């Protein structure tokens, strides 16, 4: 049976989950939450010139079309990528209201949808509150990718281990 975590272990877990990386231009701020990334590669396929894990930093916003970056972030399945418009941004705010926006709120009346990916995770969509065994809130979001193979080192989130 799985042993209960000590308070120290819990605190390390919380710190790991809270790491946020920030990438800025005058018109767009992008956030990346590594602990939530399932390494699906969708962002890299959409814009390899912007999202490139071989480079440091792995996200480069300069000289790319920022509205296309917003679209790529809106299609991130886990919510590991997010964006917001800084004050004075030249981007039309109506084009920055998708699920990748930090201010995005899903319609509370929408039914939650859970889709099993063949040999992969559960894709969850809707207004979601994920609660741990102690009743503590792990994450509140409109999208999550949850491990169903048991191999993730970042359970309950999928970390891409099912692909190895
Ligand atoms: S989960 Fe999101 S940030 Fe991670 S690789 Fe996939 S699209 Fe990119
Ligand atoms: S389903 Fe992706 S790590 Fe388990």
User: What radius of gyration do the chain's Cα atoms show?
Assistant: 17
**Res 17: pLDDT:** 60
Judge whether residue 1 has pLDDT over 60: no
User: What confidence tens digit (pLDDT) does each residue in 120-134 have?
Assistant: 999 999 999 999 999
- Return the sign of the alpha-carbon dihedral for residues 103, 108, 109, 112: positive
pLDDT digits (tens, 9 = 90+) for 142-160: 999 999 999 999 999 999 9
Q: Is residue 133 packed enough to be buried (19+ CB in 10 Å), middle (13-18) or exposed (0-12)?
A: exposed
Q: Residue 6 pLDDT more than 60? A: no
Per-domain boundaries in the chain: 10-163
Q: Return the best residue to mutate from 41, 119, 149, 154 for the ligand 2 pocket (most ligand atoms within 8 A of CB).
A: 149
Interval 50-84: pLDDT, tens? 999 999 999 999 889 999 999 999 999 999 999 99
Distance, C-alpha 109 to centroid of its chain: 22
Average pLDDT, the chain: 89
CB 145 near ligand 2, within 6 Å: no
Report the nearest-CA residue for atom 2 of ligand 1: 76
User: Is any ligand 1 atom within 6 A of the Cβ of residue 35?
Assistant: no
Q: Which ligand is nearest to the CA of 99?
A: 1
Ligand 2 close to Cβ of residue 81 (< 6 A): no
């Amino acid at each position: 049976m799985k042993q209960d975590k000590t308070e120290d272990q819990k605190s390390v877990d919380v710190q790991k989950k809270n790491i946020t990386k920030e990438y800025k231009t005058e018109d767009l701020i992008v956030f990346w939450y590594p602990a939530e990334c399932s390494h699906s590669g969708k962002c890299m396929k959409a814009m390899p010139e912007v999202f490139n894990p071989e480079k440091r930093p792995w996200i480069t916003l300069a000289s790319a079309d920022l509205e296309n970056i917003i679209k790529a972030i809106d299609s991130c399945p886990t919510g590991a990528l997010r964006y917001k418009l800084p004050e004075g941004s030249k981007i039309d705010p109506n084009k920055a209201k998708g699920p990748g926006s930090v201010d995005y709120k899903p319609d509370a009346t929408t039914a939650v949808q859970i889709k099993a990916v063949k040999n992969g995770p559960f894709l969850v969509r809707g207004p979601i509150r994920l609660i741990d065994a102690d009743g503590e809130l792990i994450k509140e979001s409109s999208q999550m990718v949850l491990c169903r193979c048991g191999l993730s080192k970042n359970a309950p989130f999928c970390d891409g281990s099912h692909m190895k």
